Amino acid sequence: MTMTHLPFALLIGVVTAVATLIGGTLAIRFSTARGLLFGFSSGAVVGVALLDLLPEAVDLVRPNGTALSVTTAAACGFAGYCLLDRSTAMLFARREAHGRHLGPASLTMHSLMDGLGIGLAFQVSSAAGVIVAVAVLAHDVLDGANTVTLSLADGGSVRVARRWLAADALAPLVGIMVARMVNVPASTLAVLLGIFAGGFLFIGASELLPRSRDGETGLARAGATALGLAFMYLVVTLAGS
């Protein structure tokens, strides 16, 4: 990334941070409707994996790689996150002690990758950087809401949720600065995106969706999950148009 691109890229990073904070703040404000929020977030997180991360990874791996390498990375990410989740639970006397940290940490790492993607795109051209930034900005509001939702799971406190929200908001800025110092091959970035997609599939299906059952009817939570998927489809479609 050239010094000419750096100020603009950092400005975009600040905008994504604000979007993340807005999404997280709304999630805290309306935490009483937690069942529906978990349902919507589960659909959104799964949507990010299936509609955003995996297609982007497949595009990056071509023409030298195959889609199978991306889906294999996703399977490894799913299994790895599951193993990490289960093994971490054994290290704590109470599940909530790890549950409200592991999920938000993964989402924060995803935001770091978002920033890295923005920075690397600016290495190609200003236009490429802006296109990637629009796609990132489109789902950063959801990222903030999902981070707070996971932090509040299993009785997590608002204070912990705010801390993870702040970390998630700052992560893209860190990623942009890191991208200025490294050069990641597209094939490596594709594998990383695949791994994160697998982790997100686990989070959505095994962490968020079961928690959406609390206090809501089956149709309500199913509708919220479907709405989360539909919203993510709309976001990805508009960002790519």
Cα–chain-centroid distance for residue 110?
5
Structure tokens at 236: 């990805």
Sign of the C-alpha dihedral, residues 100, 101, 103, 109? positive
d(CA 58, CA 56): 5
Mean pLDDT in the chain? 75
Does the pLDDT at position 13 exceed 60? Answer: yes
Angstrom distance (rounded) from CA 35 to CA 21:
21
Residue 143 CB partners (closer than 8 Å, separation 6+): 20, 23, 107, 110, 111, 114, 168
- The total of other beta-carbon atoms located within 10 Å of residue 31's CB is 14
Tens digit of pLDDT for each residue in 54-97? 888 888 887 777 889 999 999 999 998 888 777 765 655 444 55
Domain containing 215 equals 5-240
What value does the mean pLDDT take over residues 176-187?
A: 78
Contacts of 226 (CB under 8 A, 6+ apart): 43
Length of the chain counted residue by residue:
241
Per-residue CA distances from 173 to 3, 119, 120, 168, 214 (Å) = 15, 9, 13, 10, 36
- pLDDT at residue 95, rounded to an integer: 47
Predicted pLDDT at 196:
82
Q: How many separate domains does the chain show?
A: 1
pLDDT tens, position by position, 122-169:
776 676 666 667 666 656 666 777 777 777 765 667 787 788 888 888
pTM: 0.67
pLDDT at residue 18 is higher than 60 = yes
3-state secondary structure of 173: helix
Residue 38 pLDDT more than 70? yes
Q: Which amino acid is at 173?
A: L
Say how many C-beta atoms besides its own lie within 10 A of residue 93's C-beta: 5
pLDDT of residue 8: 65
Q: For residue 33, what pLDDT band results from cuts at 50, 70 and 90?
A: low
Q: Which residue has the higher pLDDT, 14 or 156?
A: 14
- For 187-203, the three-class secondary structure string (H helix, E strand, C coil) is HHHHHHHHHHHHHHHHH
Determine the pLDDT at residue 241.
58
Q: State whether the Cα torsion 84-147-179-119 is positive or negative.
A: positive
Any idea what the Cα angle at residue 99 is, between residues 97 and 102, rounded to 5°?
110
